[in-house]
């Protein structure tokens, strides 16, 4: 059989082991656990801060996209207004050109009519002068001045009734 001899060294080793466990628990374990807890708290706060920043970034992105859409809409509205304004201006220019052309046409027609009337009047005067000259040669001293004047007036009336 095996004999179990217990000597004091085994008890002393156990005592030292337990003492070392107690000292380690007091000196190393608690500070180490405090450091681990602080590290866990730090990591948790960093994760929370990262999530907050992620949320803020998402909100900022949504805001920027909304601002970009708004800017695009405003730019489109400005382009549309400019297009409409240019079309209206082009229409006004065309209408003004048409009005000017019509006015020039009417002025030209009025000038033509005045020149026609002037030419007809001049022609009447020349015809009257020729008629008087011819009548004076034909009659030569046979008509009085009043009768010549009446004859000229009748010739002018007849010439005025001619279609021109």
CB-based burial label for 128 (10 Å; 0-12, 13-18, 19+): middle
Q: Which of 5-14, 57-66, 117-126 has the lowest mean pLDDT?
A: 5-14
Task: Give residue-wise pLDDT tens across range 21-37.
Answer: 998 888 888 888 899 99
3-class DSSP state for residue 3?
Answer: coil
Q: How many independent structural domains does the chain possess?
A: 1
Identify whether 26 is part of a domain.
no
Q: Which of 133, 142, 4 is nearest to 152 (CA)?
A: 133
Identify whether 35 is part of a domain.
no
CB-based burial label for 127 (10 Å; 0-12, 13-18, 19+): middle
Kind plus residue range of the DSSP H or E element containing 145: helix 145-161
CA 50 to chain centroid, in Å, comes to 43
Identify whether 9 is part of a domain.
no
Task: Give residue-wise pLDDT tens across range 72-102.
Answer: 999 999 999 999 999 999 999 999 999 999 9
Q: Chain-wide mean pLDDT for the chain?
A: 85
Tokens 């000017």, residue located? 100
pLDDT at residue 164 greater than cutoff 70: no
CB 148 within 8 A of CB 135: yes
Q: Which two tokens stand for residue 79?
A: 């382009």
CB-based burial label for 136 (10 Å; 0-12, 13-18, 19+): middle
State which residues form the domain around 96: 42-161
Identify whether 63 is part of a domain.
yes
Task: Give residue-wise pLDDT tens across range 126-139.
Answer: 777 777 776 666 66
Identify whether 49 is part of a domain.
yes
- Looking at residue 153, its pLDDT comes to 78
CB 132 within 8 A of CB 143: no
- Looking at residue 142, its pLDDT comes to 61
């Amino acid at each position: 059989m095996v004999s179990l001899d217990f000597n004091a060294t085994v008890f002393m080793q156990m005592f030292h082991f337990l003492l070392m466990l107690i000292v380690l628990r007091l000196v190393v374990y608690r500070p180490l656990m405090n450091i681990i807890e602080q590290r866990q708290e730090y990591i948790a706060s960093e994760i929370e801060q990262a999530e907050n920043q992620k949320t803020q970034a998402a909100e900022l992105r949504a805001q920027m996209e909304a601002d970009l859409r708004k800017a695009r809409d405003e730019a489109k509205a400005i382009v549309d207004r400019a297009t409409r304004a240019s079309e209206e201006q082009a229409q006004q220019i065309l209408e003004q050109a048409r009005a000017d052309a019509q006015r020039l046409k009417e002025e030209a027609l009025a000038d033509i009519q005045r020149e026609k009337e002037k030419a007809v009047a001049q022609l009447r005067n020349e015809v009257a002068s020729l008629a008087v000259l011819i009548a004076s040669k034909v009659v030569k001293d046979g008509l009085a001045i009043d009768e010549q004047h009446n004859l000229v007036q009748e010739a002018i009336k007849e010439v005025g009734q001619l279609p021109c």
